[in-house]
Amino acid sequence: MTTTSLSFIHRFEPATVPGKPPILLLHGTGGDENDLLPLGGMLAPGSALLSPRGKVLEGGMPRFFRRLAEGVFDEADVRRRAAELADFIQEARDAHGLAAPIAVGFSNGANIAAALLVLRPEVLAGAVLLRAMVPLADTPSGDLSGKPVLMLSGSMDPIIPADNAARLAAQLTAAGAEVDHKILPTGHGLSQADVTIARNWLDRLTAKTA
């Protein structure tokens, strides 16, 4: 059900399997709160799914923060929108009785998830970053000690330079996160390999914390 009762329009699907970590789904440019629900069901069957719609419009397409050009972000807006999203996550946790979620973000959604990790690390239990870039040139030195992060990049991605993705992985590792960065032989879109790797990673994480 889509609901507007909290600070973001969002969809929430309750858990059907007790003890599985909730999943926060963060769509790419032009997506909405429905976009990644099928992916969430494939990656984490039985987990609660929380899927907000980005509040920024670019040419009528929802995003989670403004950009000035392709790959050039409005960093003041990144910080403001990350704070808004972090507050929403806490609202949703209180409303639905959720543990801290694991973010699964694609493209723009992966970038706001990366921003949450460095700006408000306490709101996430971990993250799956699909086609992520460095969200902030001046990265805060947050403490991500032991926080699990899976990064999946495409070796033929026309949008994200390989050195940018590598820099993000290095920044998160330097902050203490347990980063697993894999580079797949694909472009910016998701492949079956993304789904398989992410699901196996989440399964191992759930088994470890059970």
- Catalytic residue positions, numbered: 107, 157, 188
- C-alpha–C-alpha distance, residues 25 and 10, integer Å: 10
Q: Which residues, including other chains, have CB under 8 Å from residue 38's CB and lie 6 or more apart?
A: none
What is the DSSP code (8-state) at residue 157?
A: -
Confirm if 68 and 74 have CB atoms less than 8 A apart.
yes
Gap between the Cα atoms of 193 and 198, Å rounded: 8
A 10 A CB-CB count for 204 gives: 12
| Cβ contact 104:131 at 8 Å | no
* Residues 22 and 99: beta-carbon distance below 8 Å: yes
Q: How far apart are CA 154 and CA 163, in angstroms?
A: 12
Separation of alpha carbons 130 and 105, rounded Å: 6
Pairing outcome for strands 72-73 and 102-106: unpaired
